[in-house]
Amino acid sequence: MTQETPVFLKEYLDLHAADLADRLQRLDIEEARELLRQLPPEKAAAALAEVDRERLAGLLEGFDAHQLSGLLSSLPPEDAADLLQEVSAGTRREVLAELSPESAEGLRALMQYPEDTVGGVMSNRFIALRTDMTVEEALQVLRAQAREEYPEDIAYLYVTDANRRLVGIVSLRDLVFRRPDRRISEIMNADVKFVRAETDREELARLFEHYHYPGLPVVDAEGRLVGVVKASDVLEVVTREATEDMQLMVGLSGEERALSPWFYSVKRRLPWLYINLATAFLAAFVVGLFEDTIARWTALAIFLPVIAGQGGNAGMQTLTVIIRDLALGELAPQDGRRALFKELLVALLNGLAVGIVVGLIGWWWKGSPALGLVAGVAMVLNQLAAAVAGVWIPLGLRAVGLDPALASSILLTTVTDVAGFFFFLGLAWLGLHWSGL
Amino acid sequence: MTQETPVFLKEYLDLHAADLADRLQRLDIEEARELLRQLPPEKAAAALAEVDRERLAGLLEGFDAHQLSGLLSSLPPEDAADLLQEVSAGTRREVLAELSPESAEGLRALMQYPEDTVGGVMSNRFIALRTDMTVEEALQVLRAQAREEYPEDIAYLYVTDANRRLVGIVSLRDLVFRRPDRRISEIMNADVKFVRAETDREELARLFEHYHYPGLPVVDAEGRLVGVVKASDVLEVVTREATEDMQLMVGLSGEERALSPWFYSVKRRLPWLYINLATAFLAAFVVGLFEDTIARWTALAIFLPVIAGQGGNAGMQTLTVIIRDLALGELAPQDGRRALFKELLVALLNGLAVGIVVGLIGWWWKGSPALGLVAGVAMVLNQLAAAVAGVWIPLGLRAVGLDPALASSILLTTVTDVAGFFFFLGLAWLGLHWSGL
């Protein structure tokens, strides 16, 4: 290879790391690895920090421990820790051994937190002042750290006691304009909001969504300051959690992308399709129970998709509202009953509005008022079933410790299919029975 | 009323504005208005700024123009502007007349931007430095503004030229530690990222999701600095857009909550249920075309929900991935074809995997290999139709200028029901025809 910059590289050098990461995801894995080797290490590292998990492990395999430690040393610790989680335990040990003891220690501290906790999201780069410092001393600390690679987007500084416990907060602005001989303890705000490192990532998202914090300090179980989370970090969490909720509902992994490899999509979607198949046969079994009824009154088959489809749509409306409110923390546990009553009322009214139309169409199309009556009543009953399922499925999933969205639309349509067919065909059977046909 | 603090008020006074807003949403409208009147104006105003739109107008009706102007004057201008948008044009004029000319001018400037644009999200409280200032002069400007009600979470300052055009950015940290006689033009970073006030809110969300900005300056069409957006503001936008996408898919308004009033839910959901009904009858019409076939082979009716349900589930998987990637800006226009081919391949493989099982069950359950063959082939074909619909529906909606999520699950299940019934019953008709039954 020559020393010249290869032509193909030029177009990549000016890209933002996030855009470079997009290219790394779209190229063949071999081309992507080659591109990474050609890039300056800081560029390569910054781009890797933005690559999706599913691609990341494959890309990192292209590097040995020495090259990896070089890449990681140019990254903020929280990003370096995320990358390190993706390599094998053996490589991880080798990489940590290559790094400076302080860097390795910082990374180990970050990696002890599961990635779905606040600790997995936070940065450990923050400036902690002591209560007994003067404003002048604090500014000296700041000045010294400004030369290191500390983030420049600092608006707040945190104050800790002799045991590193968080006791206050000072804005940089206030610090700059106070008299140099004032003590930090005098100018700090002691009513400081914080979050625990063990807290679930979803709960972190809810906190920021509800209170609009620009950032929050993070403390460990002993109340010691161990990190900070910024709104821009939480924005990523919010995006990921929303994607996860939408995807889990329909039987996706929560992390799939439109251009994920086909074998990934097949492997992750197929199990849910089989589960859906099992539930579909449950519905088919109900239809099967009434095969004689259908044989005597074939027009019933025509209305099956109408009854089931309307129940499914109404149920999805309820389900979606409930799942989203749960994710946003807007539905407290004691609200479940109130939400159920509301949904039942809505289902009754919408069911009547739709049921009457279905009944009239049934009457007019097939000339049978009986068919219209059966279809209309089944429609109302199925809307009520859909409302109950739409509220209970997510609350039930959460009650047993699962994600409220998990496969919820598959479960919901099972209920609305089974209940819809049962109500409709059952009423038709009763009708045939009474009329003595 | 006595001068004492009413007992019921005490529990509210210590609440964060966001929590107070939750209470205002759950109380009767009359109780909520009474509570607002009892609260200190700053508390009441801060809580109102957090109340959902749908409740807000009703709450604001409880105040006259004079009271409103008192409430608004304690709010950040961007929040005050949001509240003012919710009152009648007449009241708005009265309120603006009560405010100081500068406040009124600032609010008018903010209100000129539609709420779904960056201008509708941004704050107009920022500190602009001039290129020809020295560091010392800049710090004096800052010190003067620190006494006013400017936000204290400032990490960056923006630099403008004589025509108020954005030309650079300086971090507060850098400003504090540079020599006092340096010019701002020497220490600023001239490569400043910005966003236009007219830009769509969704695009703003994508920018922050992709590049993780802590904040961005906002410029008007002439490049003049008119505002700033922070990551914590965009976090709200991201949350709202995700809620909207999830809700629009199933025929919800995009803004509904589990505890929204029942009449709101009925009014907003019912039109979509009627549209779903029309599409369901389209599917029923297809079944009706084959009524004779079903009459001769009743077992077909049993498999109808299986074929349609599997197509619906697989299609929802494709649809959800595409809609989410579009929202996140991860699917470029030229990726549509690639995504379609991938989805067709996935559909073929999953369709075969599911179709073989369905075929075997059909054979075993009804003892008819013909039924199994027809069901299995129809399953594969319907999975392919679901893939096409899952990709084309959101891309098509976007192409005609609609939200890619709008009623997309209703459209999708129309395709998978109609196609599924047509393939299945059509193949069965052919089978009966050939076999000469």
Q: DSSP assignment of B258-314, as one string?
A: TTS-HHHHHHHHHHHHHHHHHHHHHHHHHHHHTHHHHHH-THHHHHHHHHHHHHHHH
The residue type found at B428 is: A
Tell me how far apart the alpha carbons of residues B414 and B433 are, in angstroms, rounded to a whole number. Answer: 27
Query: ipTM greater than 0.90, yes or no?
Result: no
CA of A92 to nearest chain B CA: how many angstroms apart?
27
Chain A contact for B294 (CB, 8 A cutoff):
yes
CATH, domain B7-112, list 1.10.1740.110, 1.25.60.10, 3.40.30.10, 1.10.3720.10: 1.25.60.10
Region of residue A164 (left: phi > 0; alpha: psi -120 to 50; beta: else)? left
Give B429 or B172, the one with higher predicted confidence.
B429
**Long-range Cβ pairs for the range A69-75 (8 Å, 24+):** A69/A95, A69/A98, A69/A99, A70/A41, A71/A41, A71/A44, A71/A45, A72/A45, A72/A99, A72/A107, A73/A99, A73/A103, A74/A41, A74/A42, A74/A45, A74/A46, A75/A45, A75/A46, A75/A49
Chain B contact for A291 (CB, 8 A cutoff):
yes
C-beta of residue A143 within 8 angstroms of C-beta of residue A180: no
Sequence-distant (≥ 6) Cβ neighbours of residue A193 within 8 angstroms: A211, A213, A216
Do the strands A166-171 and A156-160 form a parallel or antiparallel pair, or are they unpaired?
Answer: antiparallel
pLDDT of residue B190: 93
Mean pLDDT value across residues B299-320: 94
pLDDT of residue B1: 42
Q: Which of A272, A314, A320 faces B247 most closely, judged by CB atoms?
A: A320
Q: Which of A253-267, A300-314, B134-148, B262-276 has the lowest mean pLDDT?
A: B134-148
Chain A contact for B98 (CB, 8 A cutoff):
no
pLDDT of residue B147: 61
Q: Which of A233, A238, A300 faces B239 most closely, judged by CB atoms?
A: A238
B residues 339..368 contacting A (CB < 8 A): 339, 342, 345-346, 349-350, 353-354, 357-358, 361
**Nearest C-alpha in B relative to A143:** B177
Q: What confidence tier does B333 reach under pLDDT thresholds 50, 70, 90?
A: confident
pLDDT of A287 higher than 90: yes
Tell me how far apart the alpha carbons of residues A34 and A9 are, in angstroms, rounded to a whole number. Answer: 10
Sequence-distant (≥ 6) Cβ neighbours of residue B85 within 8 angstroms: B111, B115
Q: How many CB pairs under 8 A join A and B?
A: 350
Mean pLDDT value across residues A66-91: 90
pLDDT in tens, A127-171: 889 999 999 999 888 888 766 656 667 788 899 999 999 999 998
Topology of domain A128-248, per CATH? CBS-domain (3.10.580)
Sequence-distant (≥ 6) Cβ neighbours of residue B234 within 8 angstroms: A231, A235, B121, B204, B205, B208
Which residues of chain A does B245 touch, with a Cβ-Cβ cutoff of 8 Å? Answer: 246
pLDDT in tens, B223-245: 999 999 999 999 999 999 999 99
Mean pLDDT value across residues B14-29: 88
pLDDT of A357 higher than 70: yes
Which residues of chain B does A250 touch, with a Cβ-Cβ cutoff of 8 Å? Answer: 313, 316-317, 319-320
**Nearest C-alpha in A relative to B405:** A246
pLDDT of B151 higher than 70: no
pLDDT of B5 higher than 60: no
pLDDT of residue A3: 47
Topology of domain A262-435, per CATH? Tetracycline Repressor; domain 2 (1.10.357)
Which residues of chain A does B358 touch, with a Cβ-Cβ cutoff of 8 Å? Answer: 277
Q: Which of A50-54, A350-354, B325-329, B337-341 has the lowest mean pLDDT?
A: A50-54
Enumerate the domain spans of chain B.
7-112, 128-248, 262-435
One DSSP character per residue, A385-402 reads HHHHHHHHHHHHHHHTTS
User: Which has the closest alpha carbon to A393: A368, A311, B323, A385?
Assistant: A385
pLDDT of residue B428: 94
Q: Are A177 and B146 in contact (CB < 8 Å)?
A: yes
Q: Is A96 helix (H, G, I), strand (E, B) or coil?
A: helix
Mean pLDDT value across residues B161-181: 89
pLDDT in tens, B96-119: 999 999 889 989 999 999 989 999
pLDDT of residue A236: 92
Region of residue B183 (left: phi > 0; alpha: psi -120 to 50; beta: else)? beta
Mean pLDDT value across residues B169-187: 89
Same fold, B7-112 and B262-435: no
pLDDT of residue B6: 56
Mutate to test the interface with A, among B179, B248, B259 (most CBs of A within 10 A): B259
| Ramachandran angles phi, psi of A215, nearest 5° | -175, 170
Q: Are B317 and A250 in contact (CB < 8 Å)?
A: yes
* Averaged pLDDT score across all residues of chain A: 90
Which residues of chain A does B295 touch, with a Cβ-Cβ cutoff of 8 Å? Answer: 295, 298
